[in-house]
Amino acid sequence: MLIELQEATKIYPMGEETICAMDHISFGIQKGEFVSIIGCSGSGKSTLMNILGCLDTLNSGKYFLDGEDVACFTQNRLSKIRNEKIGFVFQSFYLIPNLTALENVELPLKYQKIPKHRRKLLAASALHQVGLNTRMHHRPNQLSGGQQQRVAIARAIASSPPIILADEPTGNLDSKSGNDIMEILQILHNEGKTILLITHDPAIANQAQRTLKIADGKLVDLSV
């Protein structure tokens, strides 16, 4: 099992009260699966994504990544996992405005201490993979929303992480651009990547192999 949650619970303080964003959630994901996580706003799906991406920690329960208990990892180990094992794609593209598409894709590779020549090759290859080989020297304000999301996907896949976590990747896009992004994710899945896709849109969720439905912090449905 690549990803496994056991009775995973996450609680946030809210003034004098507490909010249970994840309430004893348990499920597993095999290597190479394409799984969607669907729920309305406030259902807990983004909290779940943060846990799976090692961006946050549980209050109780267990999270096993590739058979290892994430709670036992040091901060350095968690940082290395985020850099090398997981590619993140968000609804907001989080591109740096004064950098070109190529430079935006290169930036995380620089943090991984990959040599400059190798960084450029990996970044250019990733942009080619998402169909932006002729736009790699354009800055974000010279690109459409769909093209900016392609840059964000290229940034996520440039170092070839085995897991892609996509949080509402089509949420800010028109339907054609959204379909293009889903085609890219399907190609990545066919290449062997494990894809976890968060969405509120059933039409998007149904393009995955199976769907986890979250409501009020609980797993309420698991389709096979």
**Residue 134 contacts by C-beta under 8 Å, 6 or more apart in sequence?**
none
- 3 state DSSP class of 133: coil
Q: Which positions ≥6 away from 217 have C-beta within 8 Å?
A: 10, 20, 21, 22, 23, 25, 43, 44, 47
- What pTM, to 2 d.p., does this model score? 0.91
Alpha carbons 109 and 42: distance in angstroms, whole number: 33
| pLDDT at residue 224, as a whole number | 44
Q: Which residue has the higher pLDDT, 43 or 102?
A: 102
Task: Label each residue of 151-173 as H, E or C.
Answer: HHHHHHHCCCCCEEEEECCCCCC
Whether the CA torsion 132, 161, 201, 60 is positive or negative: it is negative
Tens digits of residue pLDDT in 142-184: 999 999 999 999 999 999 999 999 999 998 888 899 999 999 9
At 211, is the secondary structure helix, strand, or coil? strand
**What confidence tier does 222 reach under pLDDT thresholds 50, 70, 90?**
low
Q: What's CA 162's distance to the chain center, in Å?
A: 11
* Cβ-based neighbour number of residue 19 at 10 Å: 14
Q: CA–CA separation, 121 vs 158, rounded Å?
A: 9
Half-sphere exposure of 143 (CA within 13 A, CB side): 29
Query: Is the pLDDT score of 123 beyond 80?
Result: yes
Reference 219, options 22, 42, 60; nearest CA is 22
SS (H, E, C) 58-87: CCEEEEEECCEEHHHCCHHHHHHHHHHCEE
Across the range 35-54, mean pLDDT stands at: 91
